[in-house]
Structure 1
């Protein structure tokens, strides 16, 4: 069974941290899963080729660990001659104790929920459990997100990885002006604004920076070309940052429901058994999602665009579920 790069790196860390004095490259190759083991049946040319492949892989792994802050130490000593070894000093690699406040743990919970179900979902959940178990126990801080409908998508996770690798991506993108077309982009940033996710990057075909709303990405996001193919600018032009159209909406809510809406809104009277709440918004679709997430406990009253959006999405959901 093939070993992933992450598993190989973890095995290398464990091996080097448990080395009593040091480990040579030959010992690392023989004991760490993921490195091809030497075979006596190889002839001279084959051995040279495979040894060179191992050397390149090990050097990349060693550099990656050092970039991650893992102190891989090169051990040279007269007793070993020219035979170089490696080890990790556990005292340098150990992280300080974590101690989060209840409010910080609540924010971490939101972050773990945001990553739920995609590439880093399980990792985020495990990290949260470990962090919380090492922190002082206290009552959790309540956060005003009674109807959080935004979660990371698979497209977002793929773009985050491409940004880290500085690798171009390609995807189908639907826009009102040009319909659905293929885009090839150098991804720079992923931003969350008003409950919607956006990609900011350089459109290779248009030769200009662009902003893309991820909900309009159709199909999978695919990486293109080599890693490290471009540089991400340190600052992004403010005109590229996602922005919405501010407005005020009136939402009817059931008594003892929609506490997040009530907390940031204003009472606007009553409509029979419903309480009316005025809410300022920047992104209408984010407010639409919040109303829909409340189910029968909320309905849109104004503006007309919000009412139409809520009804349209509710009808579509009923058709999908056969209702």
Structure 2
């Protein structure tokens, strides 16, 4: 069974780091999993082709590892100078210890949540646990968007991988405007705005670029077809997700001792029937609505009316789904 390139590179690093002296090309070819040994009993032509194939692969791998900063040394035999070998000194290849503050560790922890359920999910969480055991202890750092549902959505990692592989995907999706149904898209880019994840791509059924909120994807994101099936355009239409200088202001009512992130961004403007009123600037209405919803009754939008209606509509829909 063929070995994936990433696994072959890792095997090469382990092999060159473990040798006491060096490994020659023949030894690398015979001992490192991922390289094909010379066919037994092959004729001269077959051997020549196999040698050429190995040389091309090994040169590409060696170049890529060096570009990644892996210090592969070329070592000549002290007796037979024409016999070249290779090795990696573990001390030179080791990364310096990471010294993360409590705030930095909190950000890394959120990043691992995006990959929960993805290929590296388990490894990522194990790494964060090791970092946490050695990080300095400090005051609790509040990250206002850490608990939003999009963060824990397994679809996020699958979509990022699909973008990297240029692979079409299919998933179940529901929205207020078009209802529930199956979408088949060529994903171009995954965008985060205020803790909310979106995927932008070409909708194959509607034959036009579309933007989908990852939180509204149901079930698994399934790859369709082969990798490399499409090209990502140079200019991706971000639409409302583009970084915009257009900022509006919303008046938001907050329960006492709640919604501290909104309080810090806003300006107090009074109180009304037990609610504390704040004017909060925002650039993306969808993100502000999601932030208010995530507070589960700790905040409500007073104005503008369309945002207030959007919160009520989303909360009502969620209750109907909960009741079945």
TM-score (norm 1): 0.72
Distance in 2 (CA, whole Å) between partners of 1:73 and 1:319 is 65
Aligned residue number for residue 207 of structure 1: none
Tell me whether 1:106 sits opposite 2:137 in the alignment: no
**Helix, strand or coil for the counterpart of 1:277?**
strand
Tell me the C-alpha RMSD between the 2 structures.
4.5
Aligned residue number for residue 29 of structure 1: 29
8 Å contact kept, 1:169–1:224: yes
Distance in 2 (CA, whole Å) between partners of 1:221 and 1:243 is 30
Distance in 1 (CA, whole Å) between partners of 2:74 and 2:322 is 61
8 Å contact kept, 1:118–1:152: no
Aligned residue number for residue 247 of structure 2: 246
Aligned residue number for residue 260 of structure 2: 259
8 Å contact kept, 2:71–2:92: yes
1:70-125 Cα offsets, whole Å, 9 max, x none, are 01122223523543211112232122232223332233233333444434433433
Distance in 2 (CA, whole Å) between partners of 1:232 and 1:58 is 33
Residues 217, 254 of structure 1: CA spacing in aligned structure 2 closer, same or farther, 3 A cutoff?
Answer: closer
Alignment of 1:1-323 (within 5 A): 3-38=3-38, 40=40, 42-44=41-43, 48-77=48-77, 79-135=79-135, 137-145=136-144, 148-149=147-148, 150-151=150-151, 157=157, 160=160, 168=166, 170=168, 191-197=191-197, 215=214, 242-243=242-243, 246-323=247-324
Distance in 1 (CA, whole Å) between partners of 2:225 and 2:261 is 39
8 Å contact kept, 1:251–1:278: yes
**Helix, strand or coil for the counterpart of 2:70?**
coil
1:34-66 Cα offsets, whole Å, 9 max, x none, are 3344553x5325555555444443333222211
Distance in 2 (CA, whole Å) between partners of 1:78 and 1:212 is 62
Distance in 2 (CA, whole Å) between partners of 1:254 and 1:152 is 26
8 Å contact kept, 2:253–2:301: yes
Query: Shift of residue 26 of structure 1?
Result: 2.7
Query: Shift of residue 310 of structure 1?
Result: 1.9
**Helix, strand or coil for the counterpart of 1:151?**
helix
Distance in 2 (CA, whole Å) between partners of 1:240 and 1:31 is 54
Residues 192, 116 of structure 1: CA spacing in aligned structure 2 closer, same or farther, 3 A cutoff?
Answer: same
Residues 97, 147 of structure 1: CA spacing in aligned structure 2 closer, same or farther, 3 A cutoff?
Answer: closer
Distance in 2 (CA, whole Å) between partners of 1:79 and 1:163 is 51
Distance in 2 (CA, whole Å) between partners of 1:59 and 1:322 is 61
1:226-253 Cα offsets, whole Å, 9 max, x none, are 59x98998x9999997135532223333
Higher mean alpha-carbon deviation, 15-24 vs 267-276, is at 267-276
Query: Shift of residue 285 of structure 1?
Result: 0.9
The gaps in structure 2 that reach 5 residues or longer are 204-208
8 Å contact kept, 2:116–2:154: no
The gaps in structure 1 that reach 5 residues or longer are 204-209
